[in-house]
Amino acid sequence: MSLLDWIIIVALNGGIILYGILRGRGTKTTVDWFLAGRTLPWWMIGLSLYATVIDASDLVADSGGTYAVGVSYLVANWVGVTGGWALLANWIAVPMYRTGMYTNAEYLEARFGLAARVISALVQALYRTLVLGIIATTLYLVLAIVGGWGPSAWWGVIAIAALATAYTAFGGLRSVATTDALQSVIMVASSIALFLAAWVAVGGWGGMESKLEEHQQGLATQLLHVGSDNVARQSVAEESSETVERILLSGGRHDVDAAEVVTTTPAWLAALAWLIIGLSYAVVNHTQSMRLFGARTEWDMRMAVVVSGLVLLGATFTNLMIGVMGRALYPDPSLMPLASSLQLRDSVFPLLVTELTSSGVRGLVVAGVVAACFSTFDSIGSTVPSLLVRDIYARLFVKDREDRYYVAASRLLTPLVIFGSFAFVPLLLQERGMLLVFLDWVGAFVVPLLAVYLMGSFTRVHRSSAVVGLTVGIFYGTLKLLAPFVALRFGVAILPPILVNNYASTVASLVLTAGAMLAATAVRGREPAREPRRLDPEGWLRASQLRVKALEPRGLNRGLTLPVLLGLAVVSIGAVLSFVVFW
C-alpha cells in the first residue's frame, strides 16, 4: 500500500472518530451513555443500524462465506434482517420503548421472569463477543494481505481496538451512533469501488458463470441461484477409512472417486435457515434494539428501519458478491497467490483488494474495512456492558449506588469485552471459514432466544415456558456443537445426521424451543395477556428508568402508519429479490 492509501485511511477514520469524541463530551448520566439521552433522529439510527449489520465480517468473513455457499446467503440480509428490523421496530420493541426499558433482556423479565432475563444477557454477551473476535480476525487478514504486514498485523488490530475502546467508553451510544452513521458512508463507497473492480475483472455476470462452470460443472448454478441445493465438499484424500466412517456419522456421503465427503442440503432448507439467522440477528441482538431505544420519538424508531433496510438491499449485493466473483477468479483457496497459512476462503476479499485496485482506490477500500471494524468494536463495546451492568450486576448484586458509579462500571467493562474477544481468534482461523463457525454458535444459542422473543411478543405462552424452551433449545444446540467432535474422536453419533447439518439444526433449534414452550403452556395454561407485566425495579434501576420516562419528546410523533407500510415494502423487495429474481 502506498503513502496515499494510508493518508486516506487515517484521514477518513481519524476525522470521524474525533467528531464522535466531541459529540460524546456531554455524556455524564446513564441515560446519556446507554440511550444517548433519547435524542437520536431516524436517519442517524438507520445509518447506524446499517453500519452495525454490515460490519467488517460482511466485507471479509461473509465474502468468504459466499465464496463457499453463493447467493443463498443473501437471503439472511434481504429477508431475515429487514424482516427482523420491521418486527422489532414496529411490534417487539414498542412496549420496551414506551415503558422506558434500557435493554431487550429487561423485557424478558417482565414477560417471563428473572431467569429469562439473565440467560438472554449472558447469551448475547457470549455471541456478540464472538462477533468481535470475527472482526479482529478480519482486520488481521486485511492488514496482513493488503498491508503486507504479515504476523505483525496483530499490532495494528490491537491499536484499532484500543482506539475504539477509548471513544466508546468516553461517549457511549451518542458517540457510537454518530461515528457509525458517518462510517457507513465510507463503507458503502468502498464496497462499490471494489465491486466494480471485481465485476470488470471477472467479465460481468456472463464471465462469472463461464469461469465457475470451467472449474466444475454445475457450480455456477449452485452459487448464483438461491433455489439451487447447497453442496459442501470435504476432502478426505489423506484420511484413513476409519476416519472417513467417523466423519460420515455427522452426515454426508463418501464420493470414493473424488475422495470427498459430500453433504447436500435442499435449497428450501438452506433458505429457511438463512432467514432464521437474519431474524435472530435483528430481533435478539441488543446492538440493534439499543439504537432504537435512543430514538427521540416512536416515529423515528419505526422510520429508522426503512432507511437501514433500503441501504442494506443494495449494499448486500455489492458486498457479498465479492466472494462469488472471487471464487470465479480463484476457484480453490490453494490457487490463491498467498502464503499457505493465508490460503483460506476468508482471504478472498483482501486478496481481490490487493490484486484488483490501484493506489487511492485501495486506500478507500481499506478505509471502509477499518470503518466497519470501528463501527462494530464500538457498537458491541457499548451494548454488551449495558447488558452486563443493568441485567446482571445492578439487578442481582450492587443495586443502589449513584448514577455515575454505573457509568464508570460500563466504561470499565468496555475494554474487557473488546479485548476478551481475542480469545475466539484460534477458533476462527480455520479452513471452513468464519461464517460457518458463526452459524454453529448462532444456531446453538441465539435461535432459542429468537423463539422466546417471538413467542413472548405474539402469543400468550405461559410465563414459565421461556426457561423450559431455552433449556431444551440450548441443550440441543450444545449437543449439536459437540456432535462432530464426539463422532470424530470416539466414533459415537450422539445425534442423527440430519440434526447435525448446519442448516437443519438452525430450523430444528427454533422448532424445539417453540415446541417446548407450547408444551409447558399446555400444562400450565395460557397467560391472561401477552403484554409484559409491570416491573418494579429497586434502587438505581428504578431511578434510571424514571429518568427516561421524564424525558420530553424531542420531535413530532407523527402518524405511525406510513413507516410501518414502508418497512413492509422493504421486506417485500428483499423477498422478491431472493425468491424470484435470484431463485
316: domain CATH number is: 1.20.1730.10
Confidence check: pLDDT of 456 > 70: yes
Lowest mean per-residue pLDDT among 17-21, 227-231, 241-245, 268-272: 17-21
Of the candidates 475, 447, 490, the residue with the CA atom closest to the CA atom of residue 274: 447
Q: Which of 393, 425, 457 is the last residue of a domain?
A: 425
pLDDT of residue 74: 93
Contact 81, 89 (CB under 8 A): no
pLDDT of residue 225: 95
Q: Which of 409, 425, 441 is the last residue of a domain?
A: 425
**pTM metric for this prediction:** 0.88
pLDDT band at 33 (very low <50, low <70, confident <90, very high): low
pLDDT of residue 220: 94
Distance CA 447, CA 84 (A): 13
* Same structural domain, 231 and 280: yes
C-beta atoms surrounding 315 within 10 Å: 21
pLDDT of residue 165: 73
Give the model confidence (pLDDT) of 382-417 as tens digits.
Answer: 778 888 998 999 999 999 998 889 878 887 888 888
Q: Which of the pair, 420 or 277, is modelled with greater confidence?
A: 277
pLDDT band at 167 (very low <50, low <70, confident <90, very high): low
**179: domain range?**
1-14+135-216+300-425
* Same structural domain, 416 and 333: yes
> What average pLDDT score do residues 127-153 get?
84
> What average pLDDT score do residues 477-505 get?
93
pLDDT of residue 181: 59
Of the candidates 547, 549, 555, the residue with the CA atom closest to the CA atom of residue 28: 547
Distance CA 287, CA 295 (A): 14
Report yes or no on 66 lying in a domain. Answer: no
Give the model confidence (pLDDT) of 557-577 as tens digits.
Answer: 677 889 999 999 999 999 999
* Same structural domain, 402 and 377: yes
* Same structural domain, 203 and 314: yes
Q: Please, what is the Cα angle at 43 between 454 and 387, to 5 degrees?
A: 45
* Same structural domain, 350 and 439: no
* Same structural domain, 232 and 369: no
* Same structural domain, 201 and 232: no
Domain count, the chain: 2
| Ramachandran class of 138: left when φ > 0, alpha when ψ lies in -120 to 50, beta otherwise | alpha
Q: Which of 360, 390, 425 is the last residue of a domain?
A: 425
Sign of the CA dihedral 53, 59, 60, 61? positive
Confidence check: pLDDT of 115 > 90: yes
pLDDT of residue 178: 57
